[in-house]
């Protein structure tokens, strides 16, 4: 931590930290986190009497800083120090990041100056995650966005939407909608995609429904209702429905629908509200045209909770009729009443937990889905969602592959017994066959079944794309991923995968563009910085590599080892690689092999590939997609290893 006094201020820093004296411990934690990542901080002392000299130091420190971090609390609201510092920073147009540590409402002065600031909500995220998000965002100069579940204390639900809007301006959705990438040629460091303005008349985005309950404790139910409507609309032929990952980023009820239509590529948006009181359910829905903002259809429903599925069918059918889309009698056929209302409530809680995309969210979701199945063993949707959550937990490294895949297998087998025509369940089974069984014929059969049954299901497309990637069928993988992204253009995960596939296909311009878009959408994405750095190395561009590897939370030590090696800092590279190998030899053999391959140590790389095979490394199924392993291809041992994996040699 910086120890400057008002009499001996050292400037040239990156961040000024403003706080009330009662929050000194939090301020110190922020400084320690930022300085651990090479950011210089200046933290004002609070145990001195303000005066001219003190004020001069504060003014100069704020003027010199790149950004201001405000520890936002009840104490900060009451602090004259904080008020003056915020006012000064605002007058100098400095970005102010509010690190909110309690639910204190803003006073009018702070509300005036912070109405355009960015927020990180500590109670919603937890201190560890909040510090990581703050550090990542300050380090990269990225826009800070609030937690999706965080209420904006200035204008409810507005700040997060504003951050998304800024991110959206950095990407171009239209090219994805057209199914391909076209590059501007002026800036090779930051290729961008050209927009295509065509939006289908039969396209719709379903926004998150508003929780109208008195206690505001039904967000999970409102979001779940909207997600269920999306799943129903997807079944209607001829209708393009934006995926919920993209549309759920917009929760502002006062948002300009014309702007939303352009950002999401939709001619219509559906918005609604939900109020659940005891056993009664009230739902309102409104369809608006995005070209003119005019209401095209609206309806209100009030039903017993047990009729929620029938209500959803009626709502989806009403939307389709308003859009003049024909709905066959066999399309919207769900059960007319819930088998078990409590099980359905748990299911919706699970869907809401999944969207946190972290270990705690996945664990909670798996628990909710399992509880739903315990209450209703015939609940196919809960079984399907349980399988996906377990696959994500393995993919993120949160649970061991053997445990996660076998539990997922049991869940998906149950789902297929309940409904042999579930395309989503067949996609999961394909995933297990390729990622864990390495049974490519079985995976191919299940992917084909999934596409035949549910070719509009985005997770089916993702499974198909990853199988094509695993087998080295780059054009097929690109096609599947572009179909997915045409429906869900703000989904950073598939963009990151697409970047890797483009890279292995030798399309490095497109690969770089995809990874930069993924980071524009999700600045704290775990692996996109690492992947972008490897792509830049392949292009002969070392300028950004070290900074990107420092940003990556996935494979960070290995990435830094690679960066140091290419920058000629071999001793530091050796030390990092040796430490990582000591700590992770039993769980990350493939990544260690890739690091050796990137360093040109071919024999060591193959030795670690063999260890990865013996350990059944959870990432080995995707080895053909690893750009870092490409330089092993000329060696005869590479094709021999592919044969051992039963993978195509071409």
Residue 93 structural domain: 15-154
Q: What is the pLDDT of residue 167?
A: 35
- Cα–Cα dist 38/66, whole Å: 14
Residues 6 or more apart whose CB falls under 8 angstroms from that of 617 comprise 588, 589, 590
Asked whether residue 39 is domain-assigned, the answer is yes
61 vs 475, more confident: 475
Strand, coil or helix: 544: coil
35 vs 162, more confident: 35
Do 51 and 148 lie in one domain? The reply is: yes
**Three-class HEC string of 154-221:** CCCCCHHHHHHHHHHHHCCHHHHHCCCCCECCCCCCCCCECCCCCCCCCEEEECCCEECCCCCCCHHH
Asked whether residue 623 is domain-assigned, the answer is no
**Are the CB atoms for 322 and 360 separated by under 8 Å?**
no
Strand, coil or helix: 283: strand
**Exposed, middle or buried by CB within 10 Å (0-12, 13-18, 19+), for 260?**
buried
**Are the CB atoms for 516 and 548 separated by under 8 Å?**
no
**Three-class HEC string of 219-258:** HHHHHHHHHHHHHHHHCCCCCEECCHHHHCCCCCCCCCHH
Q: For Cα atoms 366, 368, 369, give the angle at the middle one, nearest 5 degrees.
A: 65
- CA quadruple 409, 450, 462, 328: dihedral positive or negative? negative
Do 206 and 111 lie in one domain? The reply is: no
Q: What is the pLDDT of residue 144?
A: 39
Can you spell out the DSSP letters for 497-517?
HHHHHHHHTT-HHHHHHHHHH
Separation of CA 48 from chain center: 44
Which pLDDT tens digit goes with each residue over 539-548?
988 889 999 9
Which pLDDT tens digit goes with each residue over 104-143?
776 655 666 664 446 787 876 778 878 887 887 787 665 4
Which pLDDT tens digit goes with each residue over 336-388?
678 899 999 999 999 999 999 899 999 999 999 999 999 999 999 999 999 99
Q: What is the pLDDT of residue 335?
A: 56
Whole-structure pTM over 0.75, yes or no? no
Helix, strand, coil percentages in the chain from 3-state DSSP, rounded to 5: 55, 10, 35
Domain count, the chain: 2
Interval 166-184 mean pLDDT: 29
Do 118 and 22 lie in one domain? The reply is: yes
Phi-psi map region of 444: left, alpha, beta (phi>0 left; psi -120 to 50 alpha): alpha
Do 233 and 333 lie in one domain? The reply is: yes
Do 211 and 323 lie in one domain? The reply is: yes
- Cα–Cα dist 560/619, whole Å: 20
CATH number, domain containing residue 333: 3.40.50.10610
Interval 166-170 mean pLDDT: 32
Which pLDDT tens digit goes with each residue over 547-556?
999 988 887 8
HSE-up of 240 (CA within 13 Å, CB side)? 19
Can you spell out the DSSP letters for 88-117?
HHHHTT--EEEEE-S-PPPPHHHHHHHTT-
457 vs 150, more confident: 457
**Are the CB atoms for 175 and 239 separated by under 8 Å?**
no
Do 134 and 35 lie in one domain? The reply is: yes
**Are the CB atoms for 307 and 276 separated by under 8 Å?**
no
Supply the DSSP symbol for 285.
E
Output the CA–CA distances (angstroms, integers) from residue 375 to 307, 344, 348, in the order listed.
Answer: 18, 9, 14
Do 36 and 134 lie in one domain? The reply is: yes
Asked whether residue 205 is domain-assigned, the answer is yes
Q: What is the pLDDT of residue 40?
A: 86
Token pair of 579 as six digits: 């430490």
Do 109 and 204 lie in one domain? The reply is: no
Asked whether residue 621 is domain-assigned, the answer is no
**Are the CB atoms for 414 and 369 separated by under 8 Å?**
no
- Cα–Cα dist 606/590, whole Å: 10
Q: Is the pLDDT of residue 436 over 90?
A: yes
Do 312 and 247 lie in one domain? The reply is: yes
Do 19 and 150 lie in one domain? The reply is: yes
Asked whether residue 278 is domain-assigned, the answer is yes
Which pLDDT tens digit goes with each residue over 197-255?
478 899 999 999 999 988 889 999 999 999 999 999 998 888 999 999 999 988 776 77
Residue with the two structure tokens 């859009």: 323
Asked whether residue 148 is domain-assigned, the answer is yes
- CA quadruple 221, 224, 230, 231: dihedral positive or negative? negative
CATH number, domain containing residue 63: 3.40.50.10140
Last residue of a domain, one of 136, 154, 172: 154
Asked whether residue 52 is domain-assigned, the answer is yes
Supply the DSSP symbol for 152.
P
Do 150 and 203 lie in one domain? The reply is: no
- Cα–Cα dist 302/283, whole Å: 6
- Cα–Cα dist 201/220, whole Å: 31
User: For the CA atoms of 580, 581, 582, 583, what is the dihedral angle to 10 degrees?
Assistant: 50
**Are the CB atoms for 128 and 29 separated by under 8 Å?**
no
Confidence of residue 430 (pLDDT cuts 50, 70, 90): very high
Percent share of the chain, pLDDT over 90 = 57
Supply the DSSP symbol for 18.
E
Token pair of 329 as six digits: 């009698």
Q: What is the pLDDT of residue 192?
A: 36
Asked whether residue 21 is domain-assigned, the answer is yes
- CA quadruple 21, 24, 26, 27: dihedral positive or negative? positive
Q: What is the pLDDT of residue 87?
A: 82
Last residue of a domain, one of 299, 314, 337: 337
Last residue of a domain, one of 321, 337, 353: 337
Residue 268's DSSP bridge partners are: 204, 289
Strand, coil or helix: 406: helix
Taking alpha carbons only, the member of 426, 430, 410, 424 closest to residue 456 is 424
Do 208 and 313 lie in one domain? The reply is: yes
């Amino acid at each position: 931590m910086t120890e400057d006094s008002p009499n001996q201020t050292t400037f040239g820093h990156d961040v000024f930290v403003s706080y009330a004296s009662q929050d000194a411990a939090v301020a110190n934690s922020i400084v320690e986190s930022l300085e651990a990542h090479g950011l210089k901080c200046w933290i004002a002392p609070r145990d001195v009497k303000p005066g001219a000299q003190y004020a001069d130091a504060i003014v100069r420190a704020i003027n010199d800083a790149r950004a201001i971090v405000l520890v936002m609390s009840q104490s900060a609201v009451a602090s004259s120090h904080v008020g003056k510092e915020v006012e000064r920073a605002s007058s100098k147009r400095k970005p102010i990041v509010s690190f909110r540590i309690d639910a204190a409402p803003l006073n009018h002065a702070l509300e005036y100056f912070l109405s355009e600031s960015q927020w990180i909500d500590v109670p919603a995220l937890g201190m560890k995650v909040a510090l990581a998000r703050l550090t990542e965002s300050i380090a990269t100069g990225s826009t800070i966005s609030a937690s999706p579940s965080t209420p904006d204390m200035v204008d409810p639900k507005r700040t997060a939407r504003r951050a998304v809007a800024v991110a959206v301006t950095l990407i171009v959705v239209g090219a994805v909608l057209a199914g391909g990438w076209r590059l501007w040629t002026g800036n090779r460091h930051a290729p961008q995609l050209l927009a295509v303005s065509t939006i289908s008349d039969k396209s719709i985005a379903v926004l998150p429904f508003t929780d109208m309950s008195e206690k505001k404790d039904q967000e999970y139910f409102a979001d779940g209702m909207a997600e269920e409507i999306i799943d129903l609309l997807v079944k209607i032929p001829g209708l393009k429905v934006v995926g919920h990952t993209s549309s759920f980023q917009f929760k502002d009820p006062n948002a300009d629908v014309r702007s939303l239509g352009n950002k999401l590529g939709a001619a219509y948006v559906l918005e609604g509200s939900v109020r659940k009181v005891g056993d009664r359910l009230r739902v309102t829905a409104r369809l608006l045209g995005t070209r003119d903002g005019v209401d095209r259809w609206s309806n209100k429903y009030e039903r017993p909770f047990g009729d929620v599925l029938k209500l959803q069918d009626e709502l989806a059918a009403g939307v389709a009729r308003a859009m003049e889309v024909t709905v066959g009698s066999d399309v919207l056929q769900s059960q007319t009443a819930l088998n078990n209302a409590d099980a359905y409530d748990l299911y919706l809680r699970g869907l809401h937990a999944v969207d946190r995309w972290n270990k705690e969210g996945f664990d909670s979701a798996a628990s909710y889905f399992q509880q739903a199945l315990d209450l209703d063993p015939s609940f196919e949707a809960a079984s399907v969602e349980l399988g996906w959550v377990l696959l994500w937990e393995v993919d993120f490294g949160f649970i061991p592959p053997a445990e996660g895949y076998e539990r997922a297998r049991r869940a998906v087998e149950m789902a297929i017994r309940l409904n042999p025509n579930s395309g989503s369940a067949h996609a999961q089974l394909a995933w297990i066959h390729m990622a864990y069984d390495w049974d490519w014929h079985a995976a191919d059969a299940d992917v084909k079944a999934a596409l035949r049954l549910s070719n509009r299901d985005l997770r089916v497309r993702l499974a198909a794309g990853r199988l094509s990637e695993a087998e080295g069928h780059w054009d097929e993988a690109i096609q599947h991923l572009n179909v997915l992204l045409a429906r869900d253009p703000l989904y950073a995960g598939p963009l990151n995968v697409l970047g890797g596939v483009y890279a292995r296909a030798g399309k490095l311009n497109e690969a770089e563009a995809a990874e930069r878009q993924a980071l524009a959408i999700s600045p704290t994405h775990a692996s996109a910085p690492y992947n972008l750095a490897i792509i830049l190395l392949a292009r002969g561009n070392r300028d950004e590599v070290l900074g990107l590897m420092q940003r990556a939370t996935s494979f960070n030590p290995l990435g830094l080892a690679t960066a140091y090696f290419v920058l000629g800092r071999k001793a530091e590279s050796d030390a990092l690689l040796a430490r990582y190998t000591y700590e992770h030899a039993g769980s990350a053999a493939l990544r260690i092999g890739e690091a050796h391959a990137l360093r040109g140590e071919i024999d060591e790389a193959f030795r670690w590939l063999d260890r990865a095979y013996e350990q059944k490394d959870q990432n080995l199924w995707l080895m053909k997609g690893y750009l870092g392993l490409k330089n092993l291809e000329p060696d005869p041992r590479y094709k021999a290893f592919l044969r051992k994996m039963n993978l195509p040699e071409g």
